Amino acid sequence: MSLVKSISGIRGTIGGRVGEGLNPVDIVRFTAAYAVQRQKASDIRKIVVGRDARLSGHVVEPLVCGTLMSMGYDVINIGLASTPTTELAVTGENAAGGIILTASHNPKQWNALKLLNEKGEFLNDAEGKEVLAIAEKEDFSFAEVDELGHMICKDYLPYHVEKVMSLPLVKQAEIERKNYTVAIDCVNSVGGLAIPAILRALGVKNIIELNCEPTGQFAHNPEPLPKHLTEISELLKQGKADVGFVVDPDVDRLAIICENGEMFVEEYTLVSVADYVLSHTPGNTVSNLSSTRALRDITAKHGGTYSAAAVGEVNVVTEMKRTNAIIGGEGNGGVIYPECHYGRDALVGIALFLSALAEKDVKVSEWKKELPEYYISKNRIDLTPDVNVDEVLDVIKTVFKDEQLNTCDGVKIDFKQGWVHLRKSNTEPIIRVYSEAASMLEADRLAGMIIDRVNALILD
């Protein structure tokens, strides 16, 4: 059993002993700690709760809602809802915050409490650490009977769809005229509710639904990677749809499949949407250090400035606000469009992608060929627990001091022919090594060069 405590919340496998898995005692403890932190941050006594369709959701939800009400909070329970829907509900309700019950792309035995502030954004580093500290002390004061909170149940999906449809760059009439056939795979979670709803609003009449019943029994590994998407890829290879969309269980990541069954590649979800947005509203962009260089190229083409942030949505959002970026996100298919809200949102991604596709009047595979071509190689170095990763990374900085370095999150080395990003894991003794170049052969070569150098340092 696993329990992982971080600034963004608590996640773990269901069951096990206290402190070892995600169980009722720890769920109540961390929910109460979050409530105390929110009491310090806001006078509002209202919190939104939404969940994905995981099998454990019906157990976790009443524990969280009951604890919040026991802390004197009114709960706006929006039930089965995507992460971006929950984020929007927080501001829609003028709430003090929100809790999303989802383990994102993790397998079905996992669940998590993801914690939002009053803006519907993830807690920052200081706020997250404060929640962890409060949970450690367990110094809670629960409400007397007359001060208990109440629960109101609402459906916020229509609100979310309306927000997306109101975006000036969403071209419903043009999409409807194209009469696209769209295939979707929603991995038997809340995407099965949200994605058909946004497609119908966009005027898509022909929707091929795969795994859209929100049972929580994931039909395949829920992370939207090519090796897990064989069913929808085969359908598109047979010429049955113009495009395929795949989301993870909480619908903040979007993978796209070309009409010929080939992967559009998750890295290019943000790149393609940004190209469309920047062509109409030039400005700055942000992605994390492990995301493709293609976004930088596209941004420069449109006269904007690209910036890189540390890995993690909260870091990307912070950098977007600092640089006044008009679009950003992460290379895992996460599109953040502040015109709607500061959160990764697959509904926004789909609406903007189809609008661009209709405007360009090309096949998806043809559009992909127009974008800068890069390949990412993802590797890891397994370490013994006694290795000081920070010392290793410091040596790497010295060795490559003549190259362009970014050290806000590990070490990223920008070479002319590509880049390599080294990050230490917070949960296991490994260094993640991501590299990118104009060919997979070159990306692998760059990664291999760095891995060999690190291994030599460790053995020295």
Residue 379, strand partner residues: 433
189 in catalytic set:
no
How far, in Å, are 42, 211, 317, 342, 344 from residue 119 at the CA level?
11, 32, 12, 9, 14
- Tally of CB atoms within 10 A around 18: 11
CA dihedral 384, 387, 388, 394 (to 10 degrees): -110
Out of 104, 272, 290, 307, pick the active-site residue. Answer: 104
Give catalytic residues, as residue numbers. 104
